[in-house]
Amino acid sequence: MIYTVTLNPAIDYVVRLETPLQTGTINRSAGEDCVLGGKGINVSGILAQLGRPSIALGFVAGETGAWLERGLVAQGLQTDFVHLAAGMTRINVKIKAGQETELNGAGPEIPQEAMEKLHQKLEALQQEDILVLAGSIPSCLPADTYEKILARLQGRGVRSVVDASGTLLANVLLYQPFLIKPNHHELAEIVGRPLQGDTQILQAARELQSRGACNVLVSMAGDGALLLDETGAVHRIGVPSGTVVNSVGAGDSMLAGFLAGYLETGSYETALRLGTACGSATAFSLGLAARSDIDRLFHQL
């Protein structure tokens, strides 16, 4: 089973304007959408599109949390959230007016007893299960939260996947994650130098592999992706043609497609191809990708 963890899920209120955003006055919306998500939840959403079950873990609070939970179940996702006694699940405002402007909520406080409830749920994970830790850590939690989660699961045979940036990602390498997915900017930040071209990106990926990562998947936006797999083999792929209309969730979609492709075939080449198709399909869509778009792009690659 695949388990995804989203420590600070959100309802994204997406507003589309036909003219540039004007501050200090009234702006009229041309359309709105409410998108239920967070990075781990996005991964679960694409896995569901691909017919691969998962369980979404994390924290919800208040009426917004209840709305998010009901909505995810209606979409066919299986959830097992910890319910917080106070606060409310955050609402993020995304304004699309030529450029994207975001106003992200802080989210509820997560007390230590709630974090312990999450740890207890993670105790159910068994050998060969996959745990996806995605996104930043809320300011109310310690910066080493991911490390503590992986430390408690060490030696259990659980395959961890971490999609985070900076020190969050660097500090979990000690626990030998099955997969990490930095983009090329995040990779450069971790190794502490600018990276130009595949040779330098591959060298940096090898450094992270030498520090503990089994597989390193580096996304490079319009330049495609590079995978350094656990055998030392290098896989490189471009992107299909299309118009990017949405950057939210594309990386999460790539991660979900990669996992689904690998679990289905055991082939890293196929995993990279399906991951790229999923990430591109979401980038070309207003929301998360639909299965039909994923299949179409997969056959183009």
Mind telling me the catalytic residues?
Answer: 252
- Which contacts of 48-53 are long-range, i.e. CB under 8 A and separated by 24 or more positions? 48/75, 48/76, 48/77, 49/288, 49/289, 49/290, 49/291, 49/294, 50/256, 50/257, 50/260, 50/274, 50/278, 50/291, 50/294, 52/2, 52/256, 52/259, 52/260, 52/263, 52/264, 53/1, 53/2, 53/78
Six-digit token string for 69: 């939970």
Nearest Cα neighbor of 128 from 56, 175, 178 is: 178
Q: Is 175 exposed, middle or buried (0-12, 13-18, 19+ CB in 10 A)?
A: middle
Six-digit token string for 281: 């399909």
Q: Is 232 exposed, middle or buried (0-12, 13-18, 19+ CB in 10 A)?
A: exposed
Nearest Cα neighbor of 167 from 104, 226, 211, 197 is: 211
